[in-house]
Amino acid sequence: MAMPCTEMPVDPTAPPPKVIFSFGMGADSTSILLRWLEDPTSRDFELDELALITAHTGSEWDSTRTAMETHVLPRLAAANVRFLQVARSQRHATIDGGGIVVLDDSRHPTSLYIEGAYTLWDELTEAGTVAQASGARLCSVHSKGAALDPVIARITRGQPYRHVIGFEANELGRAAKDALHNTDLRTGEYPLIEWGWDRATANAYTESIIGTTIGRSACTFCPFTFANRSSRAAALERFRVEPHVGASALLMERIAIALNPAQGIVAGKRLTDLVREHGQLDTVLDALDADLRQREHALYEVRRILRPRKTDPTKLGNAARSVRIRGRGSRGAMEGLLRRLADDGVRKGLIEAETGDDGILRVYQHRRGPVFPTVERFFVVAPALAHEKEHERFDQWWADARPGGRRAVAA
Ligand code: SF4
């Protein structure tokens, strides 16, 4: 049963684990675990000194659950290895463990709790965005790192520990970055790099032990999955088998695109386009349509301030966004409202209405200008999952930046 991290019972007489393995459930970390279980000479600690910990984003492929429950959990139980499964229960976790739940803490695990609690899908759709392929994998930092750190602190109880991560032999850069987080208590360790094992070697070893390989562990909408040709093909095939999973990824993307046409799950390109071009994923598109037909929609007002780059004012530096909800109802009702707004505003010469190449109607009151800073303001209908969001100083920023924008249509 899930319990808050802050209420997690810690037996004061039990020695804290000396080795913590952040178990990612993918090919790399599974090969490490199997080797440790099969070959005691591959490790310099006893299995009762080890604790595995997995942070669930709540957005994992179901095939990962099947693989873990079939091939890994029985082996952990047989070897009496401690396995903790944790997740966020709310968007913002705290360093002392608030907002984090322990889904399972067992030496005889039988179930993988991939549903998590507060999911990354929830977080991203509420923010009206998608996971970003550029930058520092913030989605992972928020949904996994934030859940792992307090639990690790709680079970190690101030004692030094070795923190094992499954970076493979070609991931020296990621290991070097991780080592920057070492402290007096924490020492990062990377067995695959020590062993010189790349992904192919890890897969070959896993297959030699369990007779098959373990697929990629990732969120069903992970931009890194879709950025790579072979993992993209595998993900689209998984969508074909599980159309509702594909539809939920497209739903997230649709909300993000409505609020910002430049968004897209595939490194700024649209997953929806990939699915359409695929030719055999009509069931995914049908599932999305069915979902949209019954889902509550909202009329959103979006304002965006686009600021210049400090080193080059002709280039975009950063943007601030305000999202407000101006109405809620069925999809038909909200689209009717937007069309009336468009007809009325266009007739009066106050706005421009435009259906983008994404097929989404936006009604602009301000179009962004060519010089930064500039602003834009538009109205759009989308599934009512994105929350209102606006920085407390947004109106002041808007007033300051507005001269750079222009009305959509000269009054
Ligand atoms: S699997 Fe992808 S989308 Fe999920 S947390 Fe990791 S980087 Fe982000």
Report yes or no on 259 lying in a domain.
yes
CB 373 within 8 A of CB 308: yes
Report yes or no on 94 lying in a domain.
yes
Q: Are residues 398 and 331 in the same domain?
A: yes
Ligand 1: atom nearest CA of 224 is: 2
Report yes or no on 263 lying in a domain.
yes
Q: Which of 33, 37, 22 is nearest to 86 (CA)?
A: 22
- End position of a domain, from candidates 294, 321, 344: 294
- End position of a domain, from candidates 156, 184, 210: 210
Amino acid at 222: C
CB 126 within 8 A of CB 70: no
Ligand 1: atom nearest CA of 144 is: 5
Q: Are residues 145 and 52 in the same domain?
A: yes
Q: Are residues 108 and 131 in the same domain?
A: yes
Helix, strand, coil percentages (3-state) for the chain, rounded to 5, are 45, 20, 35
Q: Are residues 72 and 143 in the same domain?
A: yes
- In the block, tokens 């799950």 appear at 265
Number of structural domains, the chain?
Answer: 3
Q: Are residues 112 and 260 in the same domain?
A: no
Q: Are residues 190 and 306 in the same domain?
A: no
Cα gap 188→201, rounded to integer Å: 22
Helix axes 271-278, 282-294, angle to 10 degrees: 130
**Which residue is closest in CA terms to ligand 1's atom 1?**
218
Give distance in angstroms: CA of 173 to centre of ligand 1.
18
Ligand 1: atom nearest CA of 131 is: 3
Cα gap 29→190, rounded to integer Å: 10
- Verify whether ligand 1 is closer than 6 Å to residue 224 (CB atom): yes
User: Which residues partner with 129 through β-bridges?
Assistant: none
Report yes or no on 215 lying in a domain.
no
CB 266 within 8 A of CB 278: no
Give distance in angstroms: CA of 217 to centre of ligand 1.
9
- In the block, tokens 């695990």 appear at 109
Cα gap 30→39, rounded to integer Å: 14
Q: Are residues 257 and 157 in the same domain?
A: no
Q: Are residues 405 and 347 in the same domain?
A: yes
pLDDT of residue 138: 86
Cα gap 186→180, rounded to integer Å: 11
**Which residue is closest in CA terms to ligand 1's atom 4?**
219
Residue ranges making up the domain that contains 143: 6-210
Q: Are residues 341 and 371 in the same domain?
A: yes
Instruction: Choose one of 120, 129, 226 to mutate for the ligand 1 pocket test, by most ligand atoms within 8 angstroms of C-beta.
Output: 120
- End position of a domain, from candidates 210, 234, 268: 210
CA–chain centroid gap for 182, Å, is 25
CB 192 within 8 A of CB 174: no
pLDDT of residue 411: 33
Q: How many CB atoms lie within 10 A of CB 268?
A: 13
pLDDT of residue 410: 39
Q: Are residues 197 and 77 in the same domain?
A: yes
Q: Are residues 349 and 402 in the same domain?
A: yes
Can you tell me whether residue 4 is helix, strand or coil? strand
**Which residue is closest in CA terms to ligand 1's atom 2?**
222
Report yes or no on 1 lying in a domain.
no
- Verify whether ligand 1 is closer than 6 Å to residue 124 (CB atom): no
Report yes or no on 37 lying in a domain.
yes
Question: pLDDT tens track of the chain, all 411 residues?
Answer: 688 877 777 776 778 999 999 999 999 999 999 999 999 999 999 999 999 999 999 999 999 999 999 999 999 999 999 999 999 999 988 888 899 999 999 999 999 999 999 999 999 999 999 998 877 788 888 889 899 999 999 999 999 999 999 999 999 999 999 999 999 999 999 999 999 999 999 999 999 999 999 988 999 999 999 988 889 999 999 999 999 999 999 999 999 999 999 999 997 789 999 999 999 999 999 999 999 999 999 999 999 999 999 898 889 999 999 999 999 999 999 999 999 999 998 888 888 999 999 999 999 999 998 888 999 999 999 999 999 999 999 999 999 887 654 555 533
Report yes or no on 112 lying in a domain.
yes
Report yes or no on 218 lying in a domain.
no
Q: Are residues 283 and 374 in the same domain?
A: no
